[in-house]
Structure 1
Amino acid sequence: MKKKWIAAGAAGLFLLSASAGVYAGSNLQQIKAFLDPSMKFLVNGKPFQPQNDKGAALAPISYNGSTYLPVRAISNALGVNIEYNGATNTIILGEKLAGIPIADSYGSSGQRTKDPQSTSYNGKDYKDVHFNNLSGARSDGFSLYPKGKYQKIVIQVAAIGKDIEEFFVSDAETDIKLKTDTIAVSEGLKTYEIDISGVERLYIHSDLEDGGSIFVPLTTSYYK
């Protein structure tokens, strides 16, 4: 029987320690399901035991040909943030952002990477980044396509190895610079909020020295 990994909402709510009051007005449906303690899991090739927030072992639920896994346990195994909003009865997986991540509007560039060896900064894995660590003094640039749909962009940038003496974000259609700055290695991951009302295409540019790199997380930089 083919098994599917499905994050079960009801199980996830228990693991998030939601109060009984959350369920009082909900539209729950009673089903007949089975716990399957015999099922084993491997995460990145290593044995994994689902557990609740107190460390007790949990068994997956088998129902109608699918295997339902606890939300909290799976989020911990995969390193994904999780939070429960009782007011809206919503499970929030991943980063909480005020807008739309820029990843989907990123233009083609050889410096985009999802390689885990290149996507981490200060101990955090950003999963999808623009990372230019080529050798030699060079210019770096990539385009974003907001297509006039957003008021602002919030973009994070870090200099690695050497300071970035010139960094700018421009309206690619008019060549007007919307933000210019220098970025020091010691400043860590800097966050810029820039007005982009009506802008169709953005160009992000930096001048890099030999031994210097630029790191732009595409998952935590966003439009709003």
Structure 2
Amino acid sequence: MPNKKLAASIVGLSLLVGAGAGAYAGANLQEIKAYLNADLKVRVNGSVVQLNDQQGSAILPITYEGNTYLPVRAVANALQVAVDYDAANQEVILGEKVNGTPLNAEKFNDYTYTKDPTQTTYKNKDYKEAYYYHDGSGGPTLIITPDKKYQTLHLKIAALDKDLTDIKIKDLDSNALLKDVGTISPNDGLKDIEVNIGNVKTVTISLQVKDGGGYFVPLIDSYYK
């Protein structure tokens, strides 16, 4: 597993996370004298990787009293593990969050977004907010933005009246295929699709809708972890 291989390469190293200057106000911090270490290399699966900050700029490890410290965000990116910083609780969160975060809590393309109860209701349950598309062909691409904060996407989607085909979930920035779902039929009901989205900023969900068919995606019951 890539995570274990990198962890073995940096065993004993402590990790630092970047936070805004405002986060330090009133914090219990102690000033130290440390050194940037340009000689230290980090390997992932045998290949040397460049550690970068959130803006893509190169950063160096820090050596302090014989220990080496690496920025946790850069290491998480190299591992393709989601990382987030909870300023209120002063917590670094790696990987899946304990509680799921609904899709509508983050940015999303609202082209087929609806709160109309006649469209947000599926099998007699009103899901309040949804992506809804019906009685058309082709099918607009759905775009959601986890913004590298989450490890897993739990997407619920139902086919309305006709099969949904050629369903592909991709990383918008790299065009990498995250999951080829294939086909969902109306008989499948509200299908739960799990996708690894570690270190992914924007996700696209493309699909083909047959003439007279459609799709339904509840935005609250679909969630990130």
| TM-score w.r.t. length of structure 2 | 0.54
Matches within 5 A, 1:197-216: 197-216=198-217
- Aligned letter for 2:194? E
- Structure 2 residue 214 is the aligned partner of structure 1 residue 217: no
Paired residues for 1:98-113 under 5 Å: 98-113=99-114
Q: Are 2:159 and 1:159 aligned?
A: yes
Return the offset for 1:109. Answer: 2.8
1:183 and 2:184 are equivalent in the alignment: yes
Does 102-111 or 193-202 show the bigger shift?
Answer: 102-111
Q: How many residues align?
A: 127
Give the distance between the partners of 2:127 and 2:217, measured in 1 at CA. Answer: 9
The percentage of aligned residue pairs carrying the same residue is 34
The CA deviation at 1:106 is 4.1
Distance 2:145 2:176 in 1: 16
Offset of residue 169 of structure 1: 1.1
- 1:10-159, aligned counterparts within 5 Å? 98-135=99-136, 137-159=137-159
**What is the aligned partner in structure 1 of residue 63 from structure 2?**
none
> Counterpart of 2:168?
168
Shift of 1:208: 0.4
How far the C-alpha of 1:177 sits from its partner, in A, is 1.4
2:108 & 2:133 partners in 1: Cα distance? 15
C-alpha distance in 1 between matches for 2:153 and 2:167: 15
Structure 1 segments of 4 or more deviating over 3 A? none
Q: Which runs of 5+ in 2 are unaligned?
A: 1-97
Inter-partner Cα distance in structure 2 for 1:104 and 1:141: 19
Give unpaired runs (5+ residues) of structure 1. Answer: 1-96
Instruction: Give me the whole-angstrom Cα distance separating, in 2, the residues matched to 1:200 and 1:150.
Output: 9
Mapped partners of 2:148, 2:107: distance in 1: 15
Give the deviation of 1:168 after TM superposition. 1.5
